[in-house]
Homo-oligomer: A and B are copies of this chain.
Amino acid sequence: MNRGFPGLLVVLLLIGLLSSAAYCAECLTCHKEKTPFAVLQWEKSAHGKSGVGCEACHGTDHTLIDRGEARVDITVCGHCHGKALSEHQASRHGMALHSGWGCTRNLAERKSDGCRFCHEKGSEIPVSQVQCARFLKQSSEMAEIGCTSCHAVENSCASCHTGHGTELAIVRNPVICAKCHMGPDHPQWEMWQTSLHGTLFSASGRENGPDCQSCHMPSGSHNVSRGITCSSAGKPYDPVKQEGERQEMLRICSRCHAPSFARKELQRDDAVGEQSRKLVVEAEKIVADLAEHSLLDPMPDKRPPHPLNGSNLVLDSQMLYEDTSHIERLLFKMKKYDFAKTVKGAYHQNPAYAHWYGNAELKMDLVDIKSEAGRLKERRQAGGAACDSRPGNPLEENLRALKRKLERKELTPAEFEQQKQLLLK
């Protein structure tokens, strides 16, 4: 919309500004009293100073506004800020809700057009995992504050720019990233602050110590995902895409570091990621094996159904932290907290996050998972009366285990059929 016909655009804009001034006066009569801070922010903003009035973003239908149906989403801002919008949409911020497709699958206004929400065009590798089961388990109040208030970044520029301000000092300050990029699942804010980059930033400014924006929004780009080599669920991209992104990141590192140093550092972090993933997979197999022998306590079919997968065992990125067994919630911590801290800690050059908060926790949780697995197996042998762990029908159990191996793609359909026939003999 902001390309081509610049003459026409200027004319339209001028007409807009003129009528804007008139509308605004009307709005301000009430809003100076009703929402004084919003008015003050707007007055001090580039919008306020250049005459971009209330109705330019909110429209003129007050009934619609009152009903909450005149949302100022990214498309509204994008009318004028087209480049920022397209960069944003190409980034993970631009798919924050449907990265979480499930998060929005129940919203009537969202149109589905197939695969593109989860896959890159022409690729089978998922751009993002469907991560909504946890959202669907929450009360609407917890979902609003705990999920949507961050993931709304997909649709709302105000997530970072604030509602009525345009102060660049705010969005150029790394602290503005903190309100989402912190906490047990992805403490990028905390790990950057105490990394060499972050401490140098605190001690002598951005010139000596790069901040979030320096590396993730070079030249002010709104594509915050450039140079990142794995999906938001932590799965590595395919080699071609991966190498392209790596080149991108090396270009960024090379503004300060020798490229050979930077590549070596990033390769070291890749290795840490790979090693950590193996620990998670080892734990996943232990839990899957217990499930195949009906040893989880409680088994999935004896607990409230999983919002997406019913009574099936769910260990992927749809895994829940609630209504589950003790050993599964240990695995949840490993996957979602420990793994993320190790890998992100390494890429952000934070020794304490990579090693103590990450690697040590991964390995301690693995100790606990093995201990709990041992206990559950022993319990079966003791024939615990109050639990689900009495030996079931051996044939049924073995068939179920076989089917799960097929589902996890550890068997081809042909191998599955062959082994099934052997069992049924």
State the A residues within 8 Å of B (CB): 34-38, 41, 138-139, 141-142, 144-147, 149-150, 162, 165, 167, 169-170, 173, 175-176, 178-180, 182-185, 189, 193-196, 198-200, 202-204, 208, 255-258, 268-269, 271-272, 275, 297, 321-326, 329, 332-333, 346, 349-357, 359-360, 363-364, 366-368, 371-372, 374, 377-379, 381-382, 384-387
A208 to B257, CA, bound (A): 37
A374 to B389, CA, bound (A): 12
A363 to B326, CA, bound (A): 11
User: With A145-B351, A271-B141 in contact, do A368 and B36 touch (Cβ < 8 Å)?
Assistant: no
A118 to chain B, nearest CB (A): 23
Kindly identify which residue among B204, B325, B368 contacts A371, using a CB–CB cutoff of 8 Å: B325
A194 touches B182 (CB 8 A): yes
Question: Among the interface residues A179, A189, A363, which one has the most CB atoms of the partner chain B within 10 A?
Answer: A179
A378 touches B385 (CB 8 A): yes
5 A-B pairs within 8 Å (CB atoms) are namely: A38-B258, A145-B351, A176-B199, A184-B356, A322-B366
Kindly identify which residue among B165, B169, B257 contacts A35, using a CB–CB cutoff of 8 Å: B257
B150 touches A178 (CB 8 A): no
Question: Among the interface residues A147, A195, A371, which one has the most CB atoms of the partner chain B within 10 A?
Answer: A371
Residue in B closest to A365 when the chains form the complex, CB atoms:
B329
A371 to B355, CA, bound (A): 29
Kindly identify which residue among B146, B372, B385 contacts A354, using a CB–CB cutoff of 8 Å: B146
A189 touches B179 (CB 8 A): no
A333 to B149, CA, bound (A): 26
Q: Across chains A and B, which 6 residue pairs bring their CB atoms closest together, nearest first?
A: A146-B355, A183-B352, A37-B256, A322-B363, A326-B371, A173-B203
A200 to chain B, nearest CB (A): 7
Residue in B closest to A275 when the chains form the complex, CB atoms:
B139
A364 to B134, CA, bound (A): 13
A190 to B250, CA, bound (A): 32
A177 to B138, CA, bound (A): 32
B-chain residues with CB within 8 Å of residue A258 when the two chains form the complex: 34-35, 38
Residue in B closest to A177 when the chains form the complex, CB atoms:
B199
B-chain residues with CB within 8 Å of residue A138 when the two chains form the complex: 359
20 more A-B contacts (CB under 8 A) besides A179-B194, A382-B384? A141-B271, A141-B275, A141-B346, A145-B272, A147-B355, A149-B351, A162-B200, A178-B199, A179-B198, A179-B351, A182-B194, A182-B352, A183-B353, A183-B356, A184-B357, A321-B367, A322-B366, A322-B367, A325-B367, A377-B386
A353 to B384, CA, bound (A): 39
A368 touches B165 (CB 8 A): no
User: With A170-B204, A202-B175 in contact, do A145 and B355 touch (Cβ < 8 Å)?
Assistant: yes
B204 touches A167 (CB 8 A): yes
